[in-house]
Each structure stands twice: as C-alpha cells, then as structure tokens.
C-alpha cells in the first residue's frame, strides 16, 4: 500500500501548480466575479488527473506490477478519492481561510480530521483490518465535509460575472488562456521534482557509502528538525496568506513590493527565532519524541534539518515574488544548483563522516537554493531582505541561547520530565519574542505599553552603536 500511496502522491506534481495558480488569483477573480467559472476548470482538471492516474496505475498493475495485490476497484477509488475528493475539500477549506473566515476553516479542518479517524476506525473494526479500509474512511470524511465547506465558500463569493454584466450592461471578460496557466505551472512542477530529489537522494547515497542503519538514524533527527520548522511555517501561512494575497491583488509594482517586504518582515524573523529555539533545545526535543536508540544521533542531526528547512523557507518567501509577477521560470535554476551542491558535498563528505557529511551537504544545498533563488527573484521585483529585523530578532534570542546552553551543560542526558520543564520555560520566552515581533499588526492595551518601550530601548541602543 505504501508503494501505491507514493505513486498517488506523485500526481501532486501535476495538481500542485494548478492549486497554486488558483490561490494566487482567487481574490482577484472574486473582484471580477470569476471564481465559480475558474474553480470549475480546476475541478475538471483534477478529475482528468484522477482518471489518467487510475488508468496508469491499472496498466502498471497488469504489466510491471505495483508491489502489492490490490483490486482494480480499490485503485480507482483511492486515486479518485485522494486526488479529486481530497483536493476539492482541501481547496474549499483553504479558500475559506483566504477570505479570512478562519473560524469556518478551523471548524471544517478539525471536523474532517476527527470524522476521518472515526470512520476509519469503524471500517477497520467492523469490516476488515486493512489499509484500504482505513484510507476509505479518510476519503469519505472529505467527501462528506466538502458539501458543507463548498456551500459556505460559494456563499461568500461576489455575483457571477455574467450576472453582473447583464446588470451593468458590460461585456464578459474572457478566461485566461490555458497557455498562461501552463507557463505558470510547469516550472513549479519541475522545481518541486528537483527539490524532492534534493531532499531524498541522500538516503540512497548514504545506503551505498555507509549502511541502511546510518540512513535510519540520521533521517529520524533530520526529518524531525525539518518537520518542526515546516509546521511553524504552515501555521504562519494560515494567518498571513490571506493578508499577503489580498495586498497583491490590486496595486502597482511599488505596492506589490511593499506587500512582499511586509511578508518577509514578519515571516523571516519569526522563523529564525523558532529555528534557534529548536536547535538549542534539540536534545530536549529529541528526548521527548524519539526512542533511546535514536537519541544520541537525533539530538545532533536535528540541527541540520532545522538549518536546511529554514533556508528553504527563506527561498520560498522569495519564490512568492514569482507568484506576484506570474513568472515562475526562475524557480528551476536555484533547485538545480542546490541539487548539484548537495550531491557534490554528499559524495565528498559522507565517507569521512556519514552523519556530519550528510548534514553539511543537505544544509549547503538548501542554502544554495536560497541564495540563487534570491538572486533570480530580485530581478523581477526590487524586494529587500529584512536584515535589521533579523538581527534584532537574533539579539532577542540571546538570553534563551545562554539559558539553554547552561542547562545542556548541566544535564547531558536529561530525563523526559526535565526536558518538558526546560522546553516549557524557554517556549514561554519564545512566545514573548514572537509577540514583540508581530505586535505592530496588533492594537495593544495600555497595560502592555512596556513591550513598546522595551523594543524602542533595544533599537535605540543598537542604532546608536551602528549595529542596525
């Protein structure tokens, strides 16, 4: 079943760009009353990919094989469900968030998750304990919820363009050419595929140069670091994407540049703070999450996962410039360079030290993606890296770095309880830092005026000493 799921996930390289194009233009389409028409094209595209995907898997099953014995009707059901049904429901829920209907977004997201768990458990317990029945429960939860999420979303939209044209006596705007959508989407697919190779190829190289055990030990910590930073990035985007895409919907180059600068102003420092927290608290996080067998490697390899993912987040931020300008061809070169850097480093360093060599190589590859990506994107829009804000956020983390450094020296092998206490105390401070960094988008009560005073004192001191 894992093989089938992996093949199905490959179809995301086809559906992902179409979803990205929809997200980029959704609010603009709403102003023109074109959302209903254009998302119907997206749904048609998802259905075509689902049908083609089912046919491909069925042909593979009867020719070269797919690694397991699965009935044809299950293949059709899984592909249609995981590509089409899940894609539509996730689309409706994400678009509700884009329209700043966060309560509905959270409600439907949680309802889908919990309903899926309940249905899957029922099917597994009362029909048969199989992966197919578990996935069927997940698919049915999306199918049931999408009707309600779709109704709520469609009620938010402005009247269709044809209706408004009849009311106002204006002509109907023609839909964008499929060629424009294709030109927007194919670089995203290619870049995503290259990035996937960059993040996965190390497993095959390490297995050849070292052993499968080394791959497993390194992957646990590295993957943990990447996933923790990525979870924060996803949470940030849930809140800021509606703001960002609304700001780039209308306006000239200067307004779009300002929109990106604001996006980077809040994202990059916040991601840096979270990354420093995870790196410094790595041994405590690993103690709680991973088993004893993986602990001594994971507590160090988590660092490289964090560095690698942080660099990719910075690159992704710059890739939003391509979204703004509808020019995504600049995505390909950075990922090619990153893959080359990673592979060269991996073949050179893995024989010296498989864990350290893999970590350095993967981080260097991601940093190369970011640096080359920044170089390509600033040609499209004169955006600026928020260097001063990044430095200020780093200064704010110094007390936490010192605190966690002292604790790490005192407790070389902490217990789970000690790890929980340390992470909670330092986590409270991280929340305070994030509050300081984001407060300019908030209206603070008078009781919290001291926060402004603290920040002003810090900035005045470093400006006076030419540090910022």
In this prediction, residue 1 has a pLDDT band, given cuts at 50, 70 and 90, of low
**Which pLDDT score is estimated for 172?**
46
**Which pLDDT score is estimated for 468?**
46
By the 10 Å C-beta count (0-12 exposed, 13-18 middle, 19+ buried), 456 is classed as: exposed
**Which pLDDT score is estimated for 208?**
81
64 backbone dihedrals φ, ψ, rounded to 5°: -90, -15
Lowest model confidence (mean pLDDT) among 168-172, 210-214, 215-219, 352-356: 168-172
Angstrom distance (rounded) from CA 140 to CA 82: 10
Altogether, the residues listed in the chain come to a count of 468
Lowest model confidence (mean pLDDT) among 95-109, 150-164, 383-397: 150-164
Any residues with CB less than 8 A from the CB of 141 and at least 6 apart, and which?
A: 112, 113, 115, 116, 119
In this prediction, residue 5 has a pLDDT band, given cuts at 50, 70 and 90, of low
Q: Which of 75-84, 150-159, 163-172, 329-338 has the highest mean pLDDT?
A: 329-338
Lowest model confidence (mean pLDDT) among 1-5, 16-20, 149-153, 240-244: 1-5
Residue 341: is its pLDDT beyond 70? yes
Q: Report the percentage of the chain scoring pLDDT > 70.
A: 87
Residue 94: is its pLDDT beyond 60? yes
Q: Would you list the DSSP string of 16-53?
A: HHHHHHHHHHHHHHHHHT-HHHHHHHHHHHHHHHHHHH
**Which pLDDT score is estimated for 176?**
56
Q: Residue 261 in contact with residue 382, Cβ under 8 Å? A: no
**Which pLDDT score is estimated for 169?**
46
Measured from the Cβ of residue 88, the count of other Cβ atoms closer than 10 Å reads 20
- The mean pLDDT value of the chain amounts to 85
Angstrom distance (rounded) from CA 148 to CA 140: 13
Any residues with CB less than 8 A from the CB of 202 and at least 6 apart, and which?
A: 342, 346, 358, 361, 362
Report long-range pairs for 99-102 (Cβ below 8 Å, ≥24 apart): 99/27, 99/30, 99/153, 99/156, 99/242, 100/242, 101/152, 101/156, 102/238, 102/239
- pLDDT digit string (tens) for 239-292? 888 889 888 887 778 889 999 999 999 999 999 999 999 999 989 998 888 888
Residue 466: is its pLDDT beyond 80? no
**Which pLDDT score is estimated for 171?**
43
Residue 462: is its pLDDT beyond 60? no
Residue 96: is its pLDDT beyond 70? yes
- pLDDT digit string (tens) for 117-139? 999 999 988 888 887 888 889 89
Angstrom distance (rounded) from CA 427 to CA 337: 36
Residue 168: is its pLDDT beyond 60? no
Averaged pLDDT, 41-47: 89
Using CA atoms of 103, 106, 111, 114 in order, give the dihedral in degrees to the nearest 10: -150
**Which pLDDT score is estimated for 166?**
47
Q: Would you list the DSSP string of 433-461?
A: HHHHHHGGGS---GGGHHHHHHHHHHHHH
In this prediction, residue 33 has a pLDDT band, given cuts at 50, 70 and 90, of confident
* Model confidence, pTM: 0.84
Q: How far is CA 224 from CA 21, 173, 221, 271, 333, in A?
A: 30, 48, 5, 16, 28
- The 8-class DSSP code of residue 404 comes to H
**Which pLDDT score is estimated for 461?**
60
In this prediction, residue 114 has a pLDDT band, given cuts at 50, 70 and 90, of very high
Averaged pLDDT, 283-312: 89
- pLDDT digit string (tens) for 205-249? 888 877 788 888 888 889 999 999 999 999 999 888 888 988 888
Residue with tokens 């600049």: 330
**Which pLDDT score is estimated for 379?**
92
């Amino acid at each position: 079943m894992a093989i089938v799921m992996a093949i199905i996930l490959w179809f995301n390289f086809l559906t992902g760009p179409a979803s990205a194009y929809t997200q980029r233009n959704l609010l603009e389409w709403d102003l023109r009353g074109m959302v209903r028409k254009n998302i119907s094209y997206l749904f048609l595209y998802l259905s075509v990919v689902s049908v083609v995907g089912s046919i491909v898997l069925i042909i593979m099953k009867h020719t070269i094989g797919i690694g397991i014995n699965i009935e044809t009707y299950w293949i059709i059901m899984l592909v249609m469900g995981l590509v089409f049904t899940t894609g539509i429901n996730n689309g409706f829920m994400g678009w509700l968030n884009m329209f700043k209907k966060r309560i509905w977004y959270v409600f439907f997201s949680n309802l889908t998750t919990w309903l899926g768990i309940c249905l899957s458990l029922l099917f597994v317990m009362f029909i048969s304990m199989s992966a197919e029945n578990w996935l069927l429960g997940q698919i049915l939860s999306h199918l049931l919820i999408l009707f309600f999420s779709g109704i709520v979303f469609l009620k938010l939209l402005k009247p269709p363009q044809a209706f408004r044209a009849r009311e106002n006596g204006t002509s109907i705007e023609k839909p964008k050419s499929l060629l424009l959508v294709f030109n927007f989407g194919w670089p995203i697919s290619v870049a995503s595929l290259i990035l996937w190779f960059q993040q996965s190829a190390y497993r095959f190289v390490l297995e050849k140069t070292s052993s499968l055990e080394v791959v497993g030990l390194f992957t646990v910590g590295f993957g943990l670091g990447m996933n923790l930073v990525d979870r924060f990035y996803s949470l940030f985007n849930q809140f800021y994407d509606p703001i960002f895409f609304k700001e780039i919907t209308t306006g000239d180059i200067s307004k779009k540049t300002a929109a990106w600068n604001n996006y980077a102003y809040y994202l990059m420092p916040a991601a840096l703070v979270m990354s420093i927290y995870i790196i410094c608290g790595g041994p405590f996080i690993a103690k709680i999450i991973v088993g004893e067998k993986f602990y001594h490697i994971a507590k160090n390899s988590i660092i490289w996962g964090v560095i690698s993912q942080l660099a990719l987040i910075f690159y992704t931020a710059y890739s939003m410039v391509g979204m703004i300008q509808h020019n995504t061809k600049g995505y390909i070169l950075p990922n090619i360079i990153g893959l080359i850097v990673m592979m060269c480093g991996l073949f050179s360093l893995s024989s010296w030290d498989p864990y350290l060599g893999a970590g350095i190589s993967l981080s260097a590859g991601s940093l190369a993606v970011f640096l080359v990506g920044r170089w390509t994107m600033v040609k499209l829009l004169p955006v600026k890296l928020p260097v001063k804000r990044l430095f200020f956020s780093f200064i704010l983390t110094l007390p936490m770095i010192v605190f966690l450094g002292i604790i790490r020296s005192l407790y070389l092998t902490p217990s789970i309880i000690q790890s929980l206490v340390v992470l909670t105390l330092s986590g409270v401070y991280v929340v305070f830092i994030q509050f300081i960094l984001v407060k300019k988008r908030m209206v603070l009560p008078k009781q919290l005026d001291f926060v402004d005073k603290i920040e002003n004192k810090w900035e005045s001191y470093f400006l006076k000493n030419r540090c910022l």
